[in-house]
Structure 1
Amino acid sequence: MGNCIICGADTEGHICQSHEEDVVFEFRGNSPDQLVENRFYRGVVDGYADFGVFVDLSSNVTGLLHRSELDGRLESLDWEAGDTVFVQVKNVRDNGNVDLTSSIRQADREFRGTLIQDGTEELLPEDEEEEVEEGNGRERDVEATTEEDEESASAETDGSGAEAAAGTADETAAEPAESEPAEAESAESEPVDADPAEADTEETPAGAEPEEPTRRDIGELSDRVGEEVRIEGEVVSARQTGGPTVFELRDETGVVDCAAFVEAGVRAYPEIEVGDIVRLDGEVEIRREELQVETEALVALEGEEREAVERRLAEALTERARPDEATLVADDDTLAAAGESLLDAAEAIRRAVFESRPIVVRHAATADGYVAGVALERAILPMVREEHAESDAEYHYVNRRPLEESVYEMNDATNDVTSMLQDRDRHDEKLPLVVLAGTASTVESEDGLEMLGIYGAKRVVVDAAPADPEIADTSDVLVNPDADGLSTGALASSLATTVSPEVREEIAHLPAVSYWEDTPDSYLDAAREAGFDEEAVTELREAIALEAFYQSYDEKRELVGDLLFGESPEAVAAGAPEDAAESETLAGHIATQFREKMDTEVETAEANIERSESGGVEVAVLDTEEYTHKYDFPPSSLLLDELHRRGDAAVTIGVAMDELWVRADTDVDLREVAREAASNAPNAGISAAGLREGRIEFLSGAREEVEIAVVGAVVEQFD
């Protein structure tokens, strides 16, 4: 029993429960499991990512302060790597990841007390000082060693300390003196029974060069823990922590972190830059349960040595990156015909992983878009985890960013370019590979794609909708099969299985989820084999569509994983089975909300639709400005889809203040509709803003004129 350092109340330990959040802890543990949730800890900024800040709580434990936990924007933080900050532990996950939240107190004086948490033991600062005085601390060890050396030296000079003198004599007896060459020769010529332990230790002769470490492949280092090794490869990142500089080194077999220390927070080997081909000597260790090399020497290679390593890396990379064949989720003749472009895209993605190049997956915030993006994410993440030793690699190297629109506009490109340049300058990261799924295939995205190209970012466009010819010139790889009735989700899923064939079983149900109607039998069969019947597939589709609407710019990785793959530990704890049924239960709950919201909105809309006939074609028009809840679910695009599916009109049109949606029973060339309507309403500013969404934009003052012109242009395409 002790007393609280704040109020003096009797308590177990040094702080009572009511004042625990008034104290900041200095953590000296080596496992995330030792952290206490809701406690405040002093930490050191390790580095930034798009989604937040990594903070070292100790030399062995790092947490993530997600951007959603910040009061302001991530870009507004003025923290630099090595800065001391104060954070609160929000959650410690089963996999060891630590979720942090921000603290408004950012100085020791702003807390009412300070404690040290050494593992699970809590110490007062003065207790720790006493331990140091008693010889338990590093400072005391150093002092003791110094004093012993002084005493030994004194004993040698004044004749006292016979035992010390004898010890010294014993230690030096094996060293032949220059004045006794005969004895030395005799010792060498006559065999002596030596201690086996001593026989295993070979001393380097004076003046001889120390033996160089053996060059090893990174892929075999897990079997070399404790050994001195030499590795050669490319520096793919260099980040400064509060302690050492950590170089990430890649060779033809893998990637490993190499820590180099000169002084806390000081850049080691400042002449070494990302992209350099280097030779590194060091000792293989396990740190934070991850493989790491403690660097002893690091030098950049030049000339023939550099060329030899580069050639070795390039040959191995080409062999590893190109899949032997396209692996499809299900039989699909149109995808089989597009096998070469699938292989090209898969090679680009795999090459990026092996090059330690970040991958940004962009997709539309729709059910189809999410299926496409998540399928690719599921294929890439295991490769990143296998390639990189550190546990947080997936956050550094895979970033899925939904797009509110199906067009990759300059606003989106500007956001991506800003992020990638910040990551390059802050963390020495390579420029990313940008994969655009279900977006960027029309000329409206050309400017955004070109902006990425100007900075050297590679672009892979994956879309089942017809692509404009210009996109082939502004993308590095275009996957665009000539196929009717193919969803982008199905296309991206087969690209994912071509990247990583082992994920096929995991994502086999995703293509069926991406179709609202007319789902091909082969994909329904694949879903059934994976344990998802048509009802389960429908629930997943509706649940994803609802969640895609909320926080449309956020990837929602954990929630989407819970929905599509049944990964929620909370659901398991609540009694849901840990299999596909769990996903169905969670999806069913959200799908119920989808149907309730959709049915209510459809009922309201149908009561306010104006019906007419034009050129023998029945047309239904809804004023979405007046008869929908503009900022609630469902969005106008999804509502118009549902109204047209449920209705009997050949053309369904939704009209808002300055935009209009077209749905029709025939394939409509929206650009031609926009051109025709613009010729009949030349001052209305009509343009086809979103081909995939069937969306036309115009000037709000010409709304009635535009509605008449667009209806006329659509009806003409029925002839």
Structure 2
Amino acid sequence: MSSPTGTGDGAAVPDGGPVVYDLAAECTVDDLEEGALYHATVNGTVEYGVFVDLSEDVSGLVHDSNLVGTYEVGDDLVVELGEIRPDGDLSFEEVQVADYEERHVAHGDARVVADLADATGETVVVEGQVVQIKQTGGPTIFQVRDTSGVVPCAVFEEAGVRAHPDVEIDDVVRVSGRAEERDGGVQIELDSLSVLEGADADAVLADLDEALEAAAQPADIEPLVDWPAFEKLWDDLREVATELRRTVLEGRPIRMRHHADGDGLCASVPLQVALERFIAAHYTDESAPEHLLKRLPSKAPYYEMEDVTRDLNFALEDRTRHGQKLPMVLMLDNGSTEEDTPAYRNLRHYDIPVVVVDHHHPDPGAVEPFLEHHVNPYLHDEDYRITTGMLCVELARMIDPDLTDDLRHVPAVAGLSDRSEGEAMPDYVDLAREQGYTEGDLRDIGEALDYATHWLRYSSGEQLITDVLNVDCDDRERHAEVVEFLATRAERDVEDQLDAAMSHVEHERLDNGAHLYRIDVENHAHRFTYPAPGKTTGEVHDRKVAETGDPVITIGYGPDFAVLRSDGVRLDIPRMVTELTEEVDGGGVSGGGHLVVGSIKFVSGMRDPVIDALVEKMADAEIDEDLGSSTALPEEV
């Protein structure tokens, strides 16, 4: 340690605020420096002076000639270390100081978290900020962040009893203890923990802020393909990448909510892998990725109250039981519409930040007040042809550029799954082809993702979905076999569904010349199996588009919902839903989606008036042969 030289000779220290060191109980002679000032406690008196303790292991004599006052056992004074003699004896002299700066000295070598793997078995000292406090059935675990990473620090008071109850999250601390290997990572077994204040705390915070700002900066990468429309969103993505990296470094968990379809998975899985790698690079606790990141599929293309209530409940439980900060909610391939706002209002009660990356037609005025960041092509005069999967692949690369080779095929899967007609689609397909994927392979991956997600319901699927998408997967042969199996099963089930449904499709010609097809998917399609009503409607629609070559609208309906698809008709489904909400009294209408693809809900007794009013609006829509469609359909309604 470094320390200033004292004045000695029992003299008062001149103005200028000397530093007086307070030794931790575990400190030894190795932690001392001649000429430095220390707090001491009298442990014995003799005719020729007093013996003092500086720590449990550090004691020495203050000779009577070097004493200013008269002391008894237990009295405190400030001493200067005069000499460490060859035989190990220490000599001190009393120093009287009025104003001074106190600094705590912990026992061990000063280390940063990044170096702890090379210091196992050694006593180390780390200064940082508490980002999490977890009480286990045994020790209390303090997660401490310094300029290079985060390390768990364990201290045992007694089973299940909180140690250092005065220490809180965000406190600046100095910890000392032995670095040990634990569960594949490094943990400090604490000897001491002290809260820093004043100039010491300010200095640590300044270093932490500077290091965090540097570590939060995203990687400087180039887009996978040259696409001017996409580049409009580049700065928005960099801001989100910075926010996500900073959130991880600050110890705040992330709950990733994504639409449970092909594009939503192409968005969430690469980002999950990138964030897990980033967490692992900065936390010595091997289980940190599991605790700091959750990927959660949502069946609806908006944040349902059921989902937000679960998320909020888990977050509050984790805060109470595990000392975690409340999370950030990251919405992917949903989250941009007015239907999301009730959920956001619920989160606002707890100041939970929300970030959205989406390509559904947004309601900016409704959602922006609740969002920290909002990335959406519509905000830059682009549209759904830039899919969320395409956006999040680049976002994942900004967080972990080493993942690039695993992701080159994913934007093409996302685009084909959502039937993007963006001008960069051929470039994305070519990029995937360079990785050994044919266009048929890419379509099979998308179909396999849909099929697996259908049966997983609300489960994220983790390793299975990662293998299907072949991101961070170590077995390309297994990937191919799993995709072939799932895609073949999906194709079989789609054919079975259409065999049952197609003969029940009703047709009429609208006033604007478009074909309208209707199918009662509740009564004329298999229920509770694959494909779900949304995909069933989409498959019927695609067949009719192929048959006619004309503008086509398809409605698949049940007792209290309808799924809508359109090709070649300039619809605005979110606007239509808003109008129906106001125009159909007692209809209970809600819903939305893309401009030409979406879903609506209503009360079952008002199904016919709602659908009739909807068809009237569709009959008034303009025909646009070049409009095309998107297949970002809700799998469940």
Question: TM-score, normalization: structure 2?
Answer: 0.76
Indicate yes or no: 2:444 matched with 1:539.
Answer: yes
Query: 1:413: Cα distance to partner?
Result: 1.7
Cα 1:337–1:518 shift into 2, 3 Å: closer
Indicate yes or no: 2:371 matched with 1:475.
Answer: yes
Q: Is the 8 A contact 1:438 1:488 kept in 2?
A: yes
Note the 1:630-709 alignment, pairs <5 A.
Answer: 630-647=527-544, 648=548, 650-665=552-567, 666-677=569-580, 681-690=584-593, 694-709=598-613
Instruction: Give the 3-state SS of the residue equivalent to 1:627 in structure 2.
Output: coil
Q: Is the 8 A contact 2:127 2:146 kept in 1?
A: yes
The one of 613, 619, 642 equivalent to 2:509 is 613
Q: What is the aligned-residue RMSD (CA, Å)?
A: 2.5
Q: Distance in 2 between matches of 1:587 and 1:228?
A: 51
Cα 1:676–1:254 shift into 2, 3 Å: closer
The one of 396, 411, 430 equivalent to 2:291 is 396
Query: 1:325: Cα distance to partner?
Result: 3.6
Residue 717 (structure 1) aligns with: 621
Q: Distance in 2 between matches of 1:633 and 1:621?
A: 19
Matched-pair identity in %: 32
Instruction: Give the 3-state SS of the residue equivalent to 2:355 in structure 1.
Output: strand
What CA deviation, in whole Å up to 9, does each residue of 1:183-218 have, x standing for no partner? xxxxxxxxxxxxxxxxxx987535779995342211
Counterpart of 1:619, as a letter, is L
The one of 445, 461, 477 equivalent to 1:581 is 477
Cα 1:530–1:682 shift into 2, 3 Å: same
Residue 430 (structure 1) aligns with: 325
Q: Is the 8 A contact 1:566 1:579 kept in 2?
A: no
Counterpart of 1:645, as a letter, is D
Query: 1:518: Cα distance to partner?
Result: 4.5
Instruction: Give the 3-state SS of the residue equivalent to 2:248 in structure 1.
Output: helix
Indicate yes or no: 2:435 matched with 1:503.
Answer: no
Residue 79 (structure 2) aligns with: none
Query: 1:676: Cα distance to partner?
Result: 4.8
Note the 1:159-238 alignment, pairs <5 A.
Answer: 204-206=88-90, 212-238=107-133
Q: Is the 8 A contact 1:689 1:697 kept in 2?
A: no
Query: 1:394: Cα distance to partner?
Result: 1.7
Counterpart of 1:255, as a letter, is V
Residue 427 (structure 2) aligns with: 522
Instruction: Give the 3-state SS of the residue equivalent to 1:550 in structure 2.
Output: helix
Q: Distance in 2 between matches of 1:390 and 1:705?
A: 58
Residue 629 (structure 1) aligns with: 526
Query: 1:694: Cα distance to partner?
Result: 1.1
Q: Is the 8 A contact 1:327 1:498 kept in 2?
A: no
Note the 1:298-377 alignment, pairs <5 A.
Answer: 298-323=193-218, 325=220, 327-377=222-272
Query: 1:682: Cα distance to partner?
Result: 3.5
Query: 1:525: Cα distance to partner?
Result: 1.8
Cα 1:420–1:566 shift into 2, 3 Å: closer
Q: Is the 8 A contact 1:464 1:491 kept in 2?
A: no
Query: 1:262: Cα distance to partner?
Result: 3.1
Query: How many aligned positions are there?
Result: 512
Q: Distance in 2 between matches of 1:326 and 1:295?
A: 41
Residue 557 (structure 1) aligns with: 462
Counterpart of 2:618, as a letter, is V
Q: Is the 8 A contact 1:436 1:462 kept in 2?
A: yes
Indicate yes or no: 2:493 matched with 1:592.
Answer: no
Cα 1:441–1:326 shift into 2, 3 Å: farther
Q: Is the 8 A contact 1:369 1:489 kept in 2?
A: yes
Note the 1:73-472 alignment, pairs <5 A.
Answer: 204-206=88-90, 212-323=107-218, 325=220, 327-469=222-364, 470-472=366-368
Q: Distance in 2 between matches of 1:230 and 1:710?
A: 69
Query: 1:283: Cα distance to partner?
Result: 2.1
Counterpart of 1:653, as a letter, is I
What CA deviation, in whole Å up to 9, does each residue of 1:73-93 have, x standing for no partner? xxxxxxxxxxxxxxxxxxxxx
Cα 1:680–1:350 shift into 2, 3 Å: closer
Cα 1:471–1:329 shift into 2, 3 Å: farther
Cα 1:307–1:670 shift into 2, 3 Å: same
Residue 74 (structure 1) aligns with: none
Q: Is the 8 A contact 1:329 1:493 kept in 2?
A: no
Cα 1:532–1:211 shift into 2, 3 Å: closer
Q: Distance in 1 between matches of 2:578 and 2:261?
A: 27
Residue 70 (structure 2) aligns with: none
Cα 1:202–1:467 shift into 2, 3 Å: farther
Query: 1:222: Cα distance to partner?
Result: 2.0
Larger mean CA deviation between 514-523 and 604-613 belongs to: 514-523
Query: 1:669: Cα distance to partner?
Result: 0.7
Question: TM-score, normalization: structure 1?
Answer: 0.68
Cα 1:639–1:202 shift into 2, 3 Å: farther
Indicate yes or no: 2:392 matched with 1:492.
Answer: yes
Cα 1:686–1:433 shift into 2, 3 Å: closer
Instruction: Give the 3-state SS of the residue equivalent to 1:625 in structure 2.
Output: coil
Q: Is the 8 A contact 2:107 2:123 kept in 1?
A: no
Query: 1:453: Cα distance to partner?
Result: 3.0
Query: 1:471: Cα distance to partner?
Result: 2.1
Cα 1:489–1:299 shift into 2, 3 Å: same
Cα 1:357–1:678 shift into 2, 3 Å: closer
Q: Distance in 2 between matches of 1:591 and 1:620?
A: 27
Cα 1:682–1:718 shift into 2, 3 Å: farther
Cα 1:593–1:270 shift into 2, 3 Å: same
Larger mean CA deviation between 690-699 and 579-588 belongs to: 690-699
Q: Distance in 2 between matches of 1:667 and 1:204?
A: 90
* Highest RCO, 1 vs 2 (Cα 8 Å, sep ≥ 6): 2
Q: Distance in 2 between matches of 1:206 and 1:262?
A: 33
What CA deviation, in whole Å up to 9, does each residue of 1:567-611 have, x standing for no partner? 78xxxxxxxxx6433211110001001000111112222111011
Q: Distance in 2 between matches of 1:211 and 1:694?
A: 62
Q: Is the 8 A contact 1:328 1:497 kept in 2?
A: no
Q: Distance in 2 between matches of 1:679 and 1:619?
A: 24
Q: Is the 8 A contact 1:442 1:471 kept in 2?
A: yes
Q: Distance in 1 between matches of 2:195 and 2:237?
A: 37
